[in-house]
Structure 1
Amino acid sequence: MKSKWMPLAYVFLLLLIGAAFIDLPYYVMKPGDAHELKPIVEVAGGDKDAGTLMLTTIKMGEANYISYAIASMRDYEEIVPVEEVRSPHETNEEYNVRQKYLMDNSQQNAITVAFDAAKKPYSFRYQGVFVLNVFPGMPAEGVLKAGDRIIAIDGQEFESSSQFTEYIQTKKPNDQVMITFVRNKEKMEKRIALKQFEDNSAKTGIGISLVDQKKLISKPEVKLKADSIGGPSAGLMFSLEIYNQLVEEDVAKGRRIAGTGTIAPDGIVGRIGGIAQKVVAADKAGAKIFLAPDDEITPELERKVPGIVSNYQEAVKTAKDIGTEMKIVPVRTFDEALNYLQSH
């Protein structure tokens, strides 16, 4: 004889299954891992030292009812509104493409900063216009995809995305252009009509957001195996590892050093997200020192995000909260980070 509670159990089970598959307009951010950089970064003929430099990551995924509930009860699991993660009209696929591009660009910046510091040569070769987003309702929708690389318009090649934009602006609405692009290593051509932007009638386009794509050529050659890691936040640590392999000294001096921060071509270290989660990851990996961006909080940013503090300040608070002996070091530039490691 079936229990009278059986139907309720089935309903509960169905609700539980549904809760696991229904996405909410949030992301859940939690501590990731600290990855040793020696297996990831390979400088041809480079010096591999006893010390260990590590990049830190966060784990981030779209929230459902179950992950939302769990994150709300756990320390260092943060619930983030989707609009703080993805740009307007940006799909999850486009977000992933943008994160990959940011990582690739971060790696190039890291190479240039490290090579400049070590006085080694490098150059760039322009490859075309990289498509980050395709706007809904615009002509490129259904023709181009995020990740496509445009190499010519009407048979003309360009040396920058600004030249590409200037050429498009010489056209009128309903004019057609022939787009030559590369997708998954396959060269393709499509004809696209131009259209006025709804929010800017003076501007005509095909409806994409774009950036320049360049290939960096260095001597010695640098290979980075970081396909599973997205975003630009590993820039500082990449640059330190590359420099460490270019020179004879052991920058880490035999220690386990972790850190985070974007890196600009001029060596400026920038603010990143998830600093608390990265401090937790570094501590679990046994890091002795954690390099944290000492970013400036502008009055405009403070008005926009009341109570915001610098990455360094948040990292110090997190380190105190978890009771780690790991030293948190503020850095604003690559040179500051390098000088600290060399002198301590």
Structure 2
Amino acid sequence: MKRKFPIRLSILAALILFASAFYYLPFYVSKPGMAKELEPIIKVEGGYEEEGNFMLTTVRMGRANIYAYLIAQFSKYQEIYPVEEIRAEDETDKEYTIRQLHMMDNSKTAAIEVAYKKAGIPVEYDFKGVYVLRVLPDMPAEGKLKPGDHVFEVDGNPFASANDFIDYVSSKKAGDIVKLSFKRNGKTMDTEIPLKAFDDGSGKAGVGIQLVDDKEIKVEPDVTVESEEIGGPSAGLMFSLEIYNQLTKEDLTKGYDIAGTGTISPDGTVGRIGGIQQKIVAADKAGAELFFAPFEKGAKDSNYEEALEAAKDIDTKMKIIPIDTFDEAVAYLEKMKKKTS
């Protein structure tokens, strides 16, 4: 009888430990992810091959249980963030994931546009509507639309961009009803939603959704980017470099393994990203020899400065290169000498 008590106590303790692994704290933990070669996931039809590699770098981000939280407290290149710093107010995990994936899609589209225009190849768009990224709480769309819904008509009329949709709805007043046609899981649906005034003092009314354009870029030769479940916009710069390199005869890699990070705008501007020190760690582990970092026009505490700090700390031989634009990155690579064995 006495032996049963310790056994039961051990089982109870094991159950508590198991259950605690599934209890999430109000924090996210980020850690170094991977540096992934881009040539296998980006294919330009009939594109040129390269001797070296362009690599995207990632950060692993996830909700923290008690174990992940404690480990991060004692790990130099793991960061802890309160939920409100990662997700918008009242944003669910599902909405956050959808937002990250659509940001990635927009990043790919911008990268294709930048690369093809640099190569002197025309670019066209086929606009298909908007995706709902988030439904704001206590607004009329709550319970009628969901993140991921694809809205393609308002009051029976198609629209040419997310801005056109916003302008049309904003031209109406609180209490007016708009009819939205949308697709959810392949099924076409309609809903009527009354407009409600925003509480920001603007006097404007809306249905209460955050949205993003759904547009297909049309280029020739064709290009595919298989980013799988990678989310966020930070791979934009490296996407554009890989695509451009496959479009042009000269191999910009010159035989080097080149990593980097930064958002890309359609005009070629490279923007700040999060987690750059963790990406430096990931790139160094993957054997990268060069790393492009957003310079932010020399701003204090820029991504470039943060990258230099991490590079010095881990004593990497990887060279950190500051850039503000896609053109600057290309110019640097064009002047670089070819790697010798």
What's the TM-score, normalizing by structure 1? 0.92
Q: 2: CA distance between counterparts of 1:315 and 1:173? A: 49
Task: Quote the offset at 1:152 in angstroms.
Answer: 0.8
Q: 2: CA distance between counterparts of 1:110 and 1:198? A: 36
Task: Quote the offset at 1:13 in angstroms.
Answer: 2.4
Return closer, same or farther for 1:52/1:173 CA change in 2, 3 Å cut-off.
same
Asked if residue 335 in structure 1 is aligned to residue 327 in structure 2, the reply is yes
Task: Quote the offset at 1:90 in angstroms.
Answer: 1.3
Q: 1: CA distance between counterparts of 2:137 and 2:313? A: 45
Render the CA deviation track for 1:207-240: whole Å, top value 9, x for unaligned. 1112322211011111100022110000000000
Asked if residue 326 in structure 1 is aligned to residue 318 in structure 2, the reply is yes
Task: Quote the offset at 1:198 in angstroms.
Answer: 4.0
Q: 1: CA distance between counterparts of 2:76 and 2:143? A: 43
Q: 2: CA distance between counterparts of 1:112 and 1:332? A: 17
Give the aligned length. Answer: 335
Asked if residue 224 in structure 1 is aligned to residue 216 in structure 2, the reply is no
Q: 2: CA distance between counterparts of 1:284 and 1:104? A: 27
Residue aligned with 1:152, SS: strand
Q: 2: CA distance between counterparts of 1:184 and 1:224? A: 23
Task: Quote the offset at 1:334 in angstroms.
Answer: 0.7
Q: 2: CA distance between counterparts of 1:246 and 1:170? A: 44
- What residue identity is the alignment partner of 2:306? E
- What residue identity is the alignment partner of 1:153? V
Render the CA deviation track for 1:290-340: whole Å, top value 9, x for unaligned. 111112476xxxxxxxxx711111111111111111111111111111111
Q: 2: CA distance between counterparts of 1:315 and 1:190? A: 49
Residue aligned with 2:327, SS: helix
- What residue identity is the alignment partner of 2:13? F
Residue aligned with 1:188, SS: strand
Asked if residue 78 in structure 1 is aligned to residue 79 in structure 2, the reply is yes
State, as a whole percentage, how many aligned pairs show the same letter: 52
Aligned to 1:196: 197
Q: 2: CA distance between counterparts of 1:201 and 1:45? A: 52
- What residue identity is the alignment partner of 2:14? L
Task: Quote the offset at 1:143 in angstroms.
Answer: 1.4
| Superposition map of 1:89-108 within 5 A | 89-108=90-109
| Superposition map of 1:86-235 within 5 A | 86-200=87-201, 202-235=203-236
Q: 2: CA distance between counterparts of 1:56 and 1:188? A: 39
Aligned residues of 2:102 and 2:212 also touching (Cα < 8 A): no
Q: 2: CA distance between counterparts of 1:313 and 1:240? A: 22
Residue aligned with 1:202, SS: coil
Residue aligned with 2:291, SS: strand
Residue aligned with 1:93, SS: helix
Q: 2: CA distance between counterparts of 1:75 and 1:343? A: 36
Q: 2: CA distance between counterparts of 1:195 and 1:336? A: 46
Q: 1: CA distance between counterparts of 2:307 and 2:97? A: 26
- What residue identity is the alignment partner of 2:28? Y
Of the three residues 283, 302, 306, the one matched with 1:310 is 302
Q: 2: CA distance between counterparts of 1:148 and 1:128? A: 10
Aligned residues of 2:292 and 2:323 also touching (Cα < 8 A): yes
Aligned to 2:13: 12
Aligned to 1:301: none
Q: 2: CA distance between counterparts of 1:282 and 1:155? A: 50
Q: Which runs of 5+ in 2 are unaligned?
A: 337-341
- What residue identity is the alignment partner of 1:316? L
Render the CA deviation track for 1:259-295: whole Å, top value 9, x for unaligned. 1111111111111111011111111111111111112
Q: Which runs of 5+ in 1 are unaligned?
A: 299-307
Render the CA deviation track for 1:68-103: whole Å, top value 9, x for unaligned. 001111221111111111112211111111111111
Task: Quote the offset at 1:49 in angstroms.
Answer: 1.4
Q: 2: CA distance between counterparts of 1:336 and 1:168? A: 40
Q: 2: CA distance between counterparts of 1:288 and 1:198? A: 51
Aligned to 1:44: 45
Q: 2: CA distance between counterparts of 1:328 and 1:3? A: 62
Q: 2: CA distance between counterparts of 1:155 and 1:267? A: 36
Task: Quote the offset at 1:8 in angstroms.
Answer: 4.4
Residue aligned with 1:244, SS: helix
- What residue identity is the alignment partner of 2:312? K
Aligned to 1:274: 275
Q: Indicate the larger mover: 41-50 or 173-182.
A: 173-182
Task: Quote the offset at 1:201 in angstroms.
Answer: 7.6
Q: 2: CA distance between counterparts of 1:112 and 1:65? A: 44
| Superposition map of 1:253-292 within 5 A | 253-292=254-293
Render the CA deviation track for 1:156-209: whole Å, top value 9, x for unaligned. 111122332232234343332221012233322122222233444822221111
Task: Quote the offset at 1:5 in angstroms.
Answer: 4.2
